[in-house]
Amino acid sequence: MHPRTTGAHTTSDVLVVGGGIIGLVTAWRASRHGLRVAVADPEPGGGAARVAAGMLAAVTELHYGEETLLGLNLESARRYPDFVAELREASGGMDVGYRACGTLAVALDADDRAHLRELHALQQRSGLRSEWLTGRECRRLEPMLAPGVRGGLRVDGDHQVDPRRLAAALVAACERAGVVFHRARAERLVVAGGRAAGAVLDDGAEPAAGQVVLAAGSLSGRLGGVPREVLPPVRPVKGQVLRLSVPRAYAPFLSRTVRAVVRGSQVYLVPRENGELVVGATSEELGWDTTVTAGGVYELLRDAHELVPGITELPLTETRAGLRPGSPDNAPLLGPTALPGLHLATGHYRNGVLLTPVTGDVMATVLTTGELPEQARAFAPGRFAPPAASPPTSPSLSPAGVS
């Protein structure tokens, strides 16, 4: 079903503010459930996916204190193969570069090795599959690794996808499903009768909707007109990434994702089937700055070179910086807010690509039934509600910047 259109004003069941991969997957899945959906974004399919490496790293991204998130990450990783197949069909045959290649996390010195051993123990306690390898065994798997590698963890279940192709396929799937795109920025949420009812866009359009999903990535906390109490506490976490290309004569340079912690910083090399090698990523708390800096590029090349010395031979094809939508507990905010009709799908931080399939399904369920599915209850936005806002008294919620 398609939204009703009258000039610049449309009415749909759902308006999604933000057309990054999270907003797009929400729109696509909701439209598959029979809802009439519109998306507002000046550049749908852009956002952090343009920069992201696309690791589907439920196991190697496990951090202390993130065991709840682990369950959602694993569930999304499990759904990936079917999701990719369905998206290929829905997008008219687009390939998103899903590659079941596995990951090798290695240690370069005694400190790194101790850290990796602890991570291995945590993974085992969490029931995850990973295998400890000696340095020699690591190099047998990946001959381009530095001779100094002291050991590593082989994780055969952590794969990859190409986020740019994923975003492009989601745009195509949405278009084919009849999702309406407003290529404009939302300036303000419209609240009518105590409910979210649409948005005012910077091109003058005012799309109305029965429900609104705020999926504006690191900018989700900045939309005008949203009551302060329900604004999501997301912040931008800058990441710089390099892209190199592996000439045919050097292939296969790496056969799987290789990663390490070097002097306390994460570095990873993600080899794509098309010869691209993604090297990332810095992690910087600098607001909405997306400048690529000499220091960032230097650190990434220095650390990646320690891991795989041969990278200095490869052509450097691109440098970019993007913004991860970080939340206070590094987990996403999914589902209804205290303002009736307003939902959140944001805060996916460093796992947004991994969490795309499960987010789409969770949001489609919420938008059609009003209920968060069991596996998403721990990620309800209410966990960050300020004490004063509970119990919620939605009709008197005050818009940000107004009172």
User: What are the backbone angles phi and psi of residue 309, rounded to the nearest 5°?
Assistant: -55, -30
Site for ligand FAD in 128-187 (CB under 6 A): 185-186
CA–CA separation, 365 and 69 (whole Å): 19
Supply the angle between the helices 356-369 and 67-90 in degrees, to the nearest 10.
90
Which listed range, 124-132, 141-149, 290-298, 319-327, lies at the site for ligand FAD (CB under 6 A)? 319-327
Question: Residue 151 or 213: which CB sits closer to ligand FAD?
Answer: 213
Task: Tell me how far, at minimum, the Cβ of 290 lies from ligand FAD, in Å.
Answer: 9
H-helix or E-strand spanning residue 177 = none
Question: Residue 217 or 341: which CB sits closer to ligand FAD?
Answer: 217
* Residue count, binding to ligand FAD (CB under 6 A): 44
Peptide bond just before 44 cis, omega within 30 deg: no
Return the residue of 151, 152, 352, 381 that touches ligand FAD, per CB under 6 A: 352
Return the residue of 3, 14, 15, 23 that touches ligand FAD, per CB under 6 A: 23
Task: Tell me how far, at minimum, the Cβ of 21 lies from ligand FAD, in Å.
Answer: 5
Task: Tell me how far, at minimum, the Cβ of 371 lies from ligand FAD, in Å.
Answer: 22
The contact pattern for ligand FAD, residues 34-63, with x = CB under 6 A and - = no contact, is ------xxxx--xxxx-xxxxx--------
Task: Tell me how far, at minimum, the Cβ of 362 lies from ligand FAD, in Å.
Answer: 13
* Angle, vertex CA 330, rays to CA 238 and CA 284, nearest 5: 20
Question: Residue 151 or 345: which CB sits closer to ligand FAD?
Answer: 345
Question: Residue 207 or 341: which CB sits closer to ligand FAD?
Answer: 207
CA–CA separation, 35 and 27 (whole Å): 9
* Burial (0-12, 13-18, 19+ Cβ within 10 Å), 42: middle
Peptide bond just before 391 cis, omega within 30 deg: yes
* E strand intervals along 88-164: 103-107, 131-134, 151-155, 159-160
* E strand intervals along 79-185: 103-107, 131-134, 151-155, 159-160, 180-182
H-helix or E-strand spanning residue 302 = helix 294-307
Task: Tell me how far, at minimum, the Cβ of 297 lies from ligand FAD, in Å.
Answer: 13
Site for ligand FAD in 329-348 (CB under 6 A): 346, 348
Which listed range, 112-120, 135-143, 349-357, 384-392, lies at the site for ligand FAD (CB under 6 A)? 349-357
Site for ligand FAD in 182-221 (CB under 6 A): 185-186, 215-219
Task: Tell me how far, at minimum, the Cβ of 300 lies from ligand FAD, in Å.
Answer: 11
The two three-digit tokens of residue 185, written as one number: 């920025």
Question: Residue 41 or 151: which CB sits closer to ligand FAD?
Answer: 41
CB neighbourhood size of 331 (10 A): 21
The contact pattern for ligand FAD, residues 224-243, with x = CB under 6 A and - = no contact, is ---------------x-x--
CA–CA separation, 89 and 91 (whole Å): 6
The contact pattern for ligand FAD, residues 270-309, with x = CB under 6 A and - = no contact, is ----------xx----------------------------
Task: Tell me how far, at minimum, the Cβ of 359 lies from ligand FAD, in Å.
Answer: 9
- Select from 38, 30, 24 the least CA-distant residue to 96: 24
- Rounded to whole angstroms, what are the CA distances from 362 to 10, 45, 332? 25, 20, 12
Site for ligand FAD in 77-136 (CB under 6 A): none
Cβ proximity of 386 and 112 under 8 Å: no
Q: Does 314 bind ligand FAD (CB under 6 A)?
A: no
Question: Residue 113 or 238: which CB sits closer to ligand FAD?
Answer: 238
DSSP per residue, 5-67: EETTEEEEEEEEE--SHHHHHHHHHHHHTT--EEEE-SSTT-GGGGT---EE-TTTT--TT-H
Return the residue of 213, 223, 261, 314 that touches ligand FAD, per CB under 6 A: 223
Return the residue of 31, 211, 266, 351 that touches ligand FAD, per CB under 6 A: 351
Summarize as ranges the residues that interact with ligand FAD (CB under 6 A). Answer: 17-23, 40-43, 46-49, 51-55, 185-186, 215-219, 223, 239, 241, 280-281, 322-325, 346, 348-354
